[in-house]
Amino acid sequence: MKEYNTLLFDIDGTLLDFKKAEDYALHKTFIDHQLELTDEIFEIYETINKKLWKEFELGLIDKNTVVYTRFVKLFEQLKINEDGVAFEDEYQKNLGDGAYLIEYALEILNELYKEYDLYVVTNGVARTQYNRLDLLDLRKYFKKIFISEEIGYQKPKIEFFDFCFKHIKNFDKEKTLIIGDSLSSDMQGGINAKIDTCWYNPDYLKTDMNLNYIIHNLKDLEKILK
């Protein structure tokens, strides 16, 4: 079994249950504006949001364009008279309050940080990510937190990883593993950076990507690392 000393963790969908946090934040923000969040409206929002994040990963738009146009586009499409920019600010506040752990996340972090150097690598909104990590008291497990918004480049861009590597003490690419749920940002990013990849895949999805490891729950990391 290959030896690692540096583990790069994605947050949303890997350590934190983003779907649950998103559901909480969307419903609360819609309710606060006396709006009904129907399944149909959620599907429209999902389509708009995923398209914007994909464009962001490709470097076609910046983070502000993602977050500050998604509700604008949604309300325009639905012909709802709401300020999409102000709505986004309220949504981000509620999203930051919705901190839910993925199963085994706390257990595995508590074990791994004693033996490995752990780092966060995320494309999420900085203020939201810091707030959620603080609510769950997770910062203590990580040597550094790398957020694309602060770096100026996003996963899967090699520039994002180059920045991270320069700020990791005694960095050794051969002993580094990235763990994440996204094929397009985490796994492709790992491939671009030429480090080993571990895809957290709880839904047993299929992929043709050449990955080093695939796990279906976080406890499976123990089999890889020990």
Residues assigned a catalytic role: 10
d(CA 185, CA 81): 34
- Looking up tokens 């790992």, which residue turns up? 190
d(CA 70, CA 113): 37
**Which residues 6+ apart lie within 8 Å of 139 measured at CB?**
133, 145
**Which residues 6+ apart lie within 8 Å of 107 measured at CB?**
218, 219
Residue 99, Cβ neighbours under 10 Å: how many? 20
One-character DSSP codes across 180-210: ES-IIIIIHHHHHHT-EEEEE-TT-----S-
